[in-house]
Amino acid sequence: MANTAALKGINGLREIRRSPASHLAQAMETGSVPGTVVLKEGPFQTMAGVRVDPNSEESARIASVAGGLPARCGEVSGKEGVSVLWLGPSEFLVVAPEEAHDSLGGDLIGSLTAALGDAPGQVVDLSANRTTFELSGPRARAVLEKGCALDLHPRSFTPGTAVSTEVGNIPVALLKTGEESFRLFPRASFADYLGRWLLDAMREFASPEVP
């Protein structure tokens, strides 16, 4: 009975919550050009910021929970839907599906915290701190190149690579998930600005080509 009540409470919260870019959903749908470039929000993912000495015992314990810790800039590790992005020599961003969150019956945050124990370091629940934009299509890279100083050419930025950078002057973690697909992780407070910037950068691809 208690489990049923808890489930109803969780479902009730899911119905009333709003993601940072939910008000842009219609604009993203109409601004996308299927087969060319598509923008969506991937909200409510489980995210944790981890700070730990990569050469310590607690680092090994955290790695066993998350599926590994990347050793250098650009690397991404993880397992079973969990991605671990390198943010610095001792700083990582762990990203997992929504259901991995402890409040929804998962145990990712709690397990990471337990793995760190009393050792120096930090595990912080960032699930409400960031959102996710998913940009895909043959012109996705061209859109990002309008406001990102990185070399995003496939020879330099390959699938499975993630870096901290700026897009449209907004700090983001940028993950290349496929040959023509990217995920951007901005802070929630920047979601409106970045979403609108991406839509504006996509606008030229919605126009017919001039012969």
As a whole number of Å, the end-to-end CA separation of the chain is 67
- Strand order across the 181-186 sheet: 38-41, 133-136, 181-186, 170-178, 162-167
* Average pLDDT value over all residues in the chain: 91
Spatial distance between the Cα atoms of 150 and 67, rounded to a whole number of angstroms: 28
Residues 73 and 141 in one domain: no
Residues 91 and 69 in one domain: yes
**Domain total of the chain:** 2
The model's pLDDT over 55-71, given as tens digits with 9 standing for 90+, comes to 999 999 999 999 999 99
Find the CATH number of the domain harbouring 158.
3.30.1360.120
Spatial distance between the Cα atoms of 84 and 68, rounded to a whole number of angstroms: 8
Residues 135 and 37 in one domain: yes
Query: Would 10 be classed as within a structural domain?
Result: no
Residues 114 and 153 in one domain: no
Boundaries of domain holding 58 = 44-128
The SS3 assignment for 43 reads coil
**Predicted local distance difference test score (pLDDT) of residue 124:** 97
Spatial distance between the Cα atoms of 35 and 75, rounded to a whole number of angstroms: 29
The model's pLDDT over 132-171, given as tens digits with 9 standing for 90+, comes to 999 999 999 999 999 999 999 999 999 999 999 999 999 9
Show Cβ contacts of residue 132 under 8 Å, excluding neighbours closer than 6 positions. 41, 42, 43, 45, 95, 183, 184, 185
